[in-house]
Structure 1
């Protein structure tokens, strides 16, 4: 039975920015201005204050969860009389296009690797698990790139299952934002890390219904130990999407090998109209139909205000 979540009946505890920042306590961690510039995405906002107030408390929480998970795994291995394997703690990050997921993933990747007991952290994006453009064209869903049906979910599930089985080496496909396609000759090798961050817009999708009832339903998020959803108002996300598109005209789109080279010379009005058309037809539809409905499946919701900075945190109660 499902009911509408009200203010008094919610599985989340809500924190203001100041309340959350206080949870960092006195744990020191230095991040240079140069590192911050490398971590933030196009048109994203990231500064020392955001690192200290939002991301250091978050990495402290994940650090504590990861240690507890290791102890639980060790206890279960003793109970089952199994030989203990090294199994990574897996974090999933979801949210709309242009909301700042990639920046969050890079920040967590950098900061978590500096905590003791889990120095080896890998970051894998689900873009590599998109079907190649040729296959998307064949299926008639090129205009739904990023929608749940555009991913090779079976391959992603097999990748995660291998990680959670303690397999020494697991390969993930690699995606190029330059060519806007999966790179057939390239893979990312993941070798028994302590933590793996899986970043992608639709990683919190519920399991798909199987045609045959006897088949077990499995979701990507079933393999996550902790999940984060990056949230913001639609109007702000649309504004960030347009601003990012305009900036890319002056940078990545200028590359002669870029899939989007033909858009590099658009003027501001043309760029706005083109970005708005893509947003309305594809990204907004994906957000409202597929991405946002998964928000409350996350363990933590980071909500951003209009300046791209987090102003509210919701943490699932245990």
Structure 2
């Protein structure tokens, strides 16, 4: 076999959990003081061991990248003999529904904010850039919420362009999981951060369709990207478990979009949840999300217990 096509070659360096954790065995801050309940999402377990073994080495790695980013900015200022604003460092977090992106993003936000200098770290999700349900219904794609075509890509790209242009005042639309819709005329406003984390299922997706004229993509604005990976079997199981948990919590609220399912018997509830997975989440995973996995700089490979078993890092 021609050595240039040898499948043993990979653009990633692979680490097993025990190898990864040894890269940083001395936490730079007291993680025992962190309130884990404020970081973990529904049905996504999080332990101090997970933070020590997985996230502390990841933060050290990110600090290397961020430091080089800041140094390059300063060197360019010297080259151009012009003092300019520091532009936010953007980290993208991608992965399937139920993979644990929200927990990963929140842990990163907390830990990065505790690094030297206490940088300002903001976190947004792309949910706020979904079209309102009324618009999705008009387009006939309400049942494709979460697919690339269900997002207002122009608005999201304009926001990211503003971030990378150094705009001081920023705002994003607010999405309500309770109402399953964008809250009209409500925005989340914040000033220019040092680091921005953008979490969403399709943030690494690019279109190969000839019908799409857009040649700028969300990931073009990322300085570092992370993909939270798991098998389809585990993702389905986690989704079903979360659905059952939601029935006991959010669905019980009369104002919830899914309140009608609060009284469903378990067998009927699981039948419906499996149908949603098979008709919406699985096709989106296979067609749009999973193909973007190897576009990430770092891949977190999860085991069936939701904990990371391995890490892949793109070679430089």
- TM-score norm. by structure 1 comes to 0.94
28-37 or 222-231: bigger deviation: 28-37
Alpha-carbon displacement from aligned partner over 1:262-296 (angstroms, at most 9, x marks no partner)? 11111211111010000000000000000000000
Shift of 1:178: 0.5
Check 1:239–1:297 CA distance in 2 against 1; reply closer, same or farther (3 A cut).
Answer: same
Tell me the equivalent position of 2:250: 252
Shift of 1:76: 2.1
Shift of 1:12: 0.2
1:155-194 aligned at under 5 Å gives the runs 155-194=155-194
Are 2:227 and 2:300, in contact at CA under 8 Å, matched by a contact in 1?
yes
Give me the CA root mean square deviation: 1.8
Tell me the equivalent position of 1:272: 270
| Aligned match for 2:305, one of 274, 287, 307 | 307
Tell me the equivalent position of 1:18: 18
Tell me the equivalent position of 1:148: 148
Tell me the equivalent position of 1:238: 236
Shift of 1:73: 1.7
- The residue matched to 1:229 in structure 2 has which SS? strand
| Aligned match for 2:219, one of 218, 221, 225 | 221
Are 2:73 and 2:86, in contact at CA under 8 Å, matched by a contact in 1?
no
Q: What are structure 2's unaligned runs of at least 5 residues?
A: none
Q: Does 1:46 align with 2:46?
A: yes
75-84 or 185-194: bigger deviation: 75-84
Alpha-carbon displacement from aligned partner over 1:220-259 (angstroms, at most 9, x marks no partner)? 0000000000000100000000000001111111111111
Alpha-carbon displacement from aligned partner over 1:111-164 (angstroms, at most 9, x marks no partner)? 110001352000000000000000000000001000000001111111011001
Q: What are structure 1's unaligned runs of at least 5 residues?
A: none
- The residue matched to 1:109 in structure 2 has which SS? helix
Alpha-carbon displacement from aligned partner over 1:47-86 (angstroms, at most 9, x marks no partner)? 0100100011111111221111011122223323443112
Are 1:210 and 1:217, in contact at CA under 8 Å, matched by a contact in 2?
no
Are 1:44 and 1:103, in contact at CA under 8 Å, matched by a contact in 2?
yes
262-271 or 296-305: bigger deviation: 262-271
- TM-score norm. by structure 2 comes to 0.95
Figure out how many residues of one structure are paired with residues of the other and give that number. 313
